[in-house]
Structure 1
Amino acid sequence: MSLSIKSGFHLVSLAAAAFMLGGCHTAAVQPRAAAAPQAYASVAASPVLRQDAFKGIYEVAVSADAASVFVATINDFDKQNGGFIQRLDARSLQRLQTIQVPHRSFALGLNRVTSTLYVGNTLDGSLSIVDAASGMSKGVIQLAVPVKNDKGEESMPHTRKVIVDEQHNRVFVTSPGQPGLIWIVDGATNTLTHTIKSDGIWTAGAAYDAQANRLYVSQGGVNEILAIDPDAGQVVGRFSTGDTTDARDSRHFFINLAIDVKGQRLFSTDANTNQVYVFDIASGKQIKTVPIGAGALDVVYNAQRNEIIATHRGVSREQPNGSGGLSVIDGATYQVKRSIDLPVHPNSLALSPDGDTLYVTVKAPHGDTHPAWRKDALDSVVRIDLR
């Protein structure tokens, strides 16, 4: 699938925006299912562990007790296919359970208080609900309705990022379109309460400040980040680099977003400049940029270690055969403290609740022209002990 986004600057692939780039694997550390107990224990205790065992992997989430990891997978892009959530042992990355959901699964948001997993069905414009404790599917919330373009062609707006507000039992879902949309769902009643139309394009990333009750979303356009009052369902603030004066010629695409609640900073990966942008929330000013490599994608903030962690896929229009990695950035100096190669295309990130363990999904190249392409190769989950 190769839907494309064109906003005047570069051609940005929606496959990248919605985590839809398929591919192959390269093993770093691979546990053997039949290993003796002592050998198995040593592998599970490794500082970096990689499990290459998944087809069509996308986002990752960690359970409240840090015992399980959930990853979203699909078999292929056929419209009639369902999706799958794989529950893995958080230490060994061995598969414990496969949960089927009605639609193709891409994004994940976990309410650790209610033990509810929300699955973004990107191509179907909906949200699947799963009981994270039992794995039982609890239904689907249809967020989008089909729209027609000027030619009368019908399409379904996509869902992208799924962010959970545990304090108020709400779910926030972004939609990368022109204009972008943000949906707010009541988790108690599983009903849509607000649909917010962005003043930008390709609204993609999101982060929530529970203390201030503010939702932040990242996008392209003149204002790359919006602040939203989720109670009112209204945009109440805007952050801009000042680099774009016409949304049709956007200089940036802020694809993912993370927040430092205590320090009141926002961190966003820019898929156009391949940098992490840092904004001060109080002033709304951009305070730093950090280059991380081609194909900048996901970002998380580790408050326990004051570190910003970002993935880059290693590919661009100019570098179609690249390989990506992970950057760990010091939150005080904004210097890259550590770089980890994660061939071939690192995708999504999730931290354990204590901030000591990082989980990364890694995609294989989906085109046979890539030098690392292998027939029937599988995608991966990597566990990295940050201590």
Structure 2
Amino acid sequence: MTGLHYSTQTGRLYAANGSGEILVINPRSNRIEQRWKPLGDKPALLLNIAEDSETGRLFVTDNSKAKTTLVLDIHSGKVIKQLEVGDSLAVLFNPKRNEIYISQRESGKVISLDGTTYALKKQWDIPANPNSLLLDAEGQTLFVTVKQPFNKDHSTKGPDSVVRIDLNAQ
């Protein structure tokens, strides 16, 4: 498993895997109820998952093969939209601002998309490798973990860090 998300709306776990599948798991019975393969037979390594519980959408990233973010119906797994935004690692939905945030580790960016039109609203250049995303309780500050590149011996040049982005700043 590469990504895991629990939906309070459906009471189900959604697990992404390296075979391009999303498994829908009932946590009470510990059974897989559905297997979705949103990109069909195309190679995909689905990674991280976020939810817009108001509209019943799941956002699923693929950073290695398809290099995209998928918007899926949370009940059927049907692809609503494929966002051609490039390499996509972490994804986070902000209901207070109706925005989708995606970290792009290879590109060294974090992008903000409009949650309705999916249009690019803003992008931030982040040094090295932006990774995980987290919002504060008010939904006005975005925290981004930044991984240092690995040397050939798998060491790094320094410690990882956290970047704080004020979403109200111009």
TM over 0.5, yes or no? yes
Opposite residue 2 of structure 2, the aligned amino acid is A
Residue 167 of structure 2 is aligned to residue 386 of structure 1: yes
RMSD between aligned alpha carbons?
1.8
Query: Residue 16 of structure 2 contacts residue 22 of structure 2 at CA under 8 Å; is this kept in 1?
Result: yes
Which residues in structure 2 correspond to 1:202-241 (within 5 Å)? Answer: 203-221=1-19, 224-241=21-38
Opposite residue 147 of structure 2, the aligned amino acid is K
Same amino acid, percent of matched pairs? 41
Which residues in structure 2 correspond to 1:27-46 (within 5 Å)? Answer: none
How far apart, in 2, do the equivalents of 1:367 and 1:293 lie?
A: 25
| Alignment-derived partner of residue 282 in structure 1 | 75
Under a length normalisation based on structure 2, what TM-score does the superposition of the two structures give? 0.88
TM-superposed deviation, 1:242 = 4.6
Opposite residue 83 of structure 2, the aligned amino acid is V
| Alignment-derived partner of residue 335 in structure 1 | 119
Query: Residue 206 of structure 1 contacts residue 258 of structure 1 at CA under 8 Å; is this kept in 2?
Result: no
| Alignment-derived partner of residue 96 in structure 2 | 304
How far apart, in 2, do the equivalents of 1:237 and 1:292 lie?
A: 28
Under a length normalisation based on structure 1, what TM-score does the superposition of the two structures give? 0.40
Query: Residue 326 of structure 1 contacts residue 340 of structure 1 at CA under 8 Å; is this kept in 2?
Result: yes
Query: Residue 141 of structure 2 contacts residue 165 of structure 2 at CA under 8 Å; is this kept in 1?
Result: yes
TM-superposed deviation, 1:251 = 0.6
| Alignment-derived partner of residue 141 in structure 2 | 357
| Alignment-derived partner of residue 46 in structure 2 | 254
Change (3 A) 1:275 1:242: closer
- Residues paired across the two proteins, number: 164
Q: Deviations over 1:183-230 (max 9, x none)?
A: xxxxxxxxxxxxxxxxxxxx21111111321111112326x2111111
How far apart, in 1, do the equivalents of 2:127 and 2:39 lie?
A: 35
| Alignment-derived partner of residue 158 in structure 2 | 377
Query: Residue 208 of structure 1 contacts residue 259 of structure 1 at CA under 8 Å; is this kept in 2?
Result: no
Query: Residue 130 of structure 2 contacts residue 147 of structure 2 at CA under 8 Å; is this kept in 1?
Result: yes
TM-superposed deviation, 1:312 = 1.1
How far apart, in 1, do the equivalents of 2:159 and 2:89 lie?
A: 20
Opposite residue 219 of structure 1, the aligned amino acid is N
Query: Residue 46 of structure 2 contacts residue 61 of structure 2 at CA under 8 Å; is this kept in 1?
Result: yes
| Alignment-derived partner of residue 130 in structure 2 | 346
Q: Choose between structure 1 and 2: higher helix proportion.
A: 1
| Alignment-derived partner of residue 292 in structure 1 | 85
Change (3 A) 1:351 1:221: same
Query: Residue 292 of structure 1 contacts residue 312 of structure 1 at CA under 8 Å; is this kept in 2?
Result: no
Change (3 A) 1:242 1:298: closer
Q: Deviations over 1:131-178 (max 9, x none)?
A: xxxxxxxxxxxxxxxxxxxxxxxxxxxxxxxxxxxxxxxxxxxxxxxx
Which residues in structure 2 correspond to 1:134-145 (within 5 Å)? Answer: none
Q: Deviations over 1:342-383 (max 9, x none)?
A: 011101111112211110011122227xxxxxx843322101
Query: Residue 265 of structure 1 contacts residue 280 of structure 1 at CA under 8 Å; is this kept in 2?
Result: yes
Query: Residue 148 of structure 2 contacts residue 157 of structure 2 at CA under 8 Å; is this kept in 1?
Result: no
Query: Residue 52 of structure 2 contacts residue 58 of structure 2 at CA under 8 Å; is this kept in 1?
Result: yes
SS in 1 for 2:90: strand
Opposite residue 343 of structure 1, the aligned amino acid is P
SS in 2 for 1:309: strand
Query: Residue 206 of structure 1 contacts residue 256 of structure 1 at CA under 8 Å; is this kept in 2?
Result: yes
Opposite residue 348 of structure 1, the aligned amino acid is S
Provide runs of 4+ in structure 1 moved above 4 Å. Answer: none
How far apart, in 2, do the equivalents of 1:331 and 1:257 lie?
A: 15
Opposite residue 33 of structure 2, the aligned amino acid is V
Q: Deviations over 1:1-45 (max 9, x none)?
A: xxxxxxxxxxxxxxxxxxxxxxxxxxxxxxxxxxxxxxxxxxxxx
Opposite residue 267 of structure 1, the aligned amino acid is F
